[in-house]
Amino acid sequence: MTSVLHSQSAPDAPGDLGQARWINRDHSWIAFNYRVLAQAEDINLPLLDRVRFLAIVSSNLDEFFMVRIAAMRRALKSGLAVTGPDGMSPRDLLDSSREKARELLARANRCWSDDLYPALRASSIYILETEELENEDREYLASYFHEQVLPVLTPMVLDATHPFPLLTSGAIYLLMRVAARQDVQDNFFSKADTVLVQVPSGLDRFIRLPSRPEMPYRYILLEDAIAMFAGEIVNGYEIHSVHEFRVTRDAELLLDDERSDDLIIAIQEGLKRSRWGAPVRLSVSSKVPPDEIEYLCRQLDLEPEDIFHSTGMLDLRGLFQLIGGIERPDLMEPPWPPQPHPAFAGGRDLFEVITEKDVIISLPYQSFDPVTRLIEKAADDPDVLAIKITLYRVSGQSPLVRALIRAAEQKKQVTALVELQARFDEEANITWAQRLDAAGAHVIYGVVGYKTHSKAALVIRREPDGIRRYCHLATGNYNDRTARQYTDLGLLTADPDFGSDISSFFNVITGYSLPPVWNYIEMAPTGLRARTVAMIRREVEKHTPENPGFIRAKMNSLIDPEIIRELYKASQAGVRINLLVRGLCRLRPGIPGLSENIRVRSIVDRFLEHPRIFHYHNGGNEEVYLSSADWMERNMDRRLELLFPVNDPDCRKEALMVLDAGFADNVSAWRLLPEGEYSREKPAPYEPIYRSQEKLYQRAVTMATKSRDEKRHHVFEARTATGAGKRRGRS
């Protein structure tokens, strides 16, 4: 039986270094977040950008405990856990992962307390302690507390008749030790000595205090303000102590398939249960005394190993809100607004542009607007007969989904495959699915047992010469918000063979049809693994000293054992392999006799690196592919994914430019060493610095500017010609 932690895999072949070939996937995840933390520690970056990176680390750590640590605990409890290819036992994996996470958290805390917190103060941004408040501050807070905070609070007494309650995962709580005042000792107040108060998540975590000329940004934490007025929350008590803590729970979505035939209902019920998953971590302030920590551990059934201390501020995710309310452009990188794509300059008709030529859009350097406009135009165009799309993650105010609803209301055939089990987006996807269904769209909830992770849209339009199909295929989501934060590539094409493939793809996933023989694409789980292995082996077969083979690839994660084995074999055969792997990587590069021809880099910068690009030499007949899938077991075997070629020469050039930039980066790149550690790339003496994201954005600006200049030139020529004609007529 397969564990939730490791997949069973074939034993290592003799003489290929065995378990030493593998980096543990969870340790690799921790290593990735050290690279993110390094951004927060980098004094060369603007201060508020550094604060944002620290908040990202905290958010990522939360997810690590909710997903990976929780999975390890479940596996141990069930007895189904198996040893992975790296040789780590499940118990060793849990212990080592918790310890590495503890070390990461300690370093993040130091970054905040010793570096960023003082740096904010030096920049006139103050997060005040209660003892720093002056009388007018206390008066302001008293008014704010009574008007905005107190009505929302619900104190929960703990005694013989009120057991320890279920605590919301991720919320901050105040544990208050109390005693009845002398004047009320004779009534029920004397029966309680412990009260819990949840810090409301719906209120601003940072309360902004009235500014002063020398201190324009002054804040106090919401939990500190609540602690200040604790006596007014539980009137009649003396407050002996107030300590803050936080619980992280298992976020696994467990569906009860036997109780519900309706997937939406099953997921809604599963979401309710997942909010009360087993506790996996107790986070406490370093000021909480040992006896209180022991009390909380008993109530939550946690061990000392599950306790994580924070110095200073508890839950650094709240820093997202802080930087969102500060208008200090001098403390942030200049904005990089997405640039218009030159292909659509001058308001050209989208259908005409895509019919003439394939178009590739590079996000977030170029605007996501053409994709949104394609669906909006299709919704209102009377010649459009049908729209089909896969939706994995969409924003809460998605203009694209609103266009789909409008199309359905206009009686167009709209088919939307909505993945309800996109982790942490389940509720938003349920809401959109229900709205689409109410509008008359044909809503599909995926294939049982597989997540639909592919990104594909198909517009079917009646034209004078017959039916034409317009396709959008992408490495990223149909999410207008993340389209400004993630680097991704999307292909727009009216190629009939692509149209045929994507039509068949939708038939497969909506009607469970057998996959056809594809013209261009490949899909998981039916053929993507075999296609990937075949293309790696093809490089070995076509490799010669005179015409050496190479593979270049970019992805989020590389952890699939079979694919890694094939890469090792290709390296041993002399094929050069250069990889850009943003996050998890189990492959060890640069090991003599095994992987000396493999190089692995990771880019960590302003935007989240997200494209999957694959470039094969193929004996000189080079091929370039984009995909929704990483080289992970789940993507190859348990998800519906798409791989598609970039056929147009200009589009291929754009995709390869993203690869070229990543391999040339000497500012934001990290090199994976054979030992599994990462070393930051630095420019050699007198070598110009090359920051890939900045270069790609500058190129997008140059292309957009050139397009605008050409448009102005054409307009000027047209006006000049018209004026000359009028003058000739007058003469």
Q: Are strands 156-158 and 194-198 parallel, antiparallel or unpaired?
A: antiparallel
**CA neighbor of 615 nearest in space, from 539, 672, 558, 693:** 539
Q: How far apart are CA 306 and CA 245, in angstroms?
A: 13
Q: How far apart are CA 517 and CA 608, in angstroms?
A: 35
From the list 243, 453, 472, 610, the catalytic residue is 453
Question: Phi/psi at 670 (nearest 5 deg)?
Answer: -125, 140
Token pair of 706 as six digits: 């050139």
Strand blocks (E) in 351-424: 359-363, 384-391, 413-418
Could you give the 3-state DSSP secondary structure of residue 686?
Answer: coil
From residue 357, give the alpha-carbon distance in Å to each of 200, 252, 345, 518, 622.
53, 44, 14, 21, 20
Q: How far apart are CA 291 and CA 299, in angstroms?
A: 13
Could you give the 3-state DSSP secondary structure of residue 59?
Answer: helix
Is 453 annotated as catalytic?
yes
Amino acid at 258: E
Look-up of token digits 């996959």 = 515
Question: Phi/psi at 81 (nearest 5 deg)?
Answer: -65, 140
Could you give the 3-state DSSP secondary structure of residue 476?
Answer: coil
Q: How far apart are CA 602 and CA 35, in angstroms?
A: 9
Token pair of 10 as six digits: 């074939």
Q: Are strands 623-627 and 613-616 parallel, antiparallel or unpaired?
A: antiparallel
**Own/partner pairs, 618-627, CB within 8 angstroms, 24+ separation:** 618/535, 618/538, 618/539, 618/542, 619/542, 619/547, 619/549, 620/547, 623/535, 624/652, 624/655, 624/656, 626/473, 626/474, 626/475, 626/489, 626/491, 626/655, 627/475, 627/528
Q: Judging by beta carbons within 10 Å of its beta carbon (0-12, 13-18, 19+), is residue 500 exposed, middle or buried? A: middle
Q: How far apart are CA 366 and CA 651, in angstroms?
A: 14
**Own/partner pairs, 373-376, CB within 8 angstroms, 24+ separation:** 374/350, 374/457, 374/459, 374/470, 374/472, 374/492, 375/400, 375/403, 375/404, 375/407, 375/457, 375/459, 376/400, 376/403
Number of H helices, E strands in the chain: 21, 27
- Do 373 and 341 form a contact (C-beta atoms < 8 A)? no
Q: Judging by beta carbons within 10 Å of its beta carbon (0-12, 13-18, 19+), is residue 567 exposed, middle or buried? A: buried
- Do 639 and 524 form a contact (C-beta atoms < 8 A)? yes
* Paired residues of 678 in beta bridges: 672
From residue 630, give the alpha-carbon distance in Å to each of 386, 627, 633, 635.
30, 8, 9, 6
Provide the CA 232 distance to its chain's centre, in angstroms.
41
Q: How far apart are CA 252 and CA 254, in angstroms?
A: 6
SS (H, E, C) 167-180: CCCCCEEEEEEEEE
The CA angle 292-296-300, to the nearest 5 degrees, is 170
Q: Are strands 639-645 and 125-127 parallel, antiparallel or unpaired?
A: unpaired
Q: How far apart are CA 659 and CA 692, in angstroms?
A: 9
Q: Are strands 639-645 and 623-627 parallel, antiparallel or unpaired?
A: antiparallel
Q: How far apart are CA 376 and CA 425, in angstroms?
A: 23
> Which sequence positions are flagged as catalytic?
453
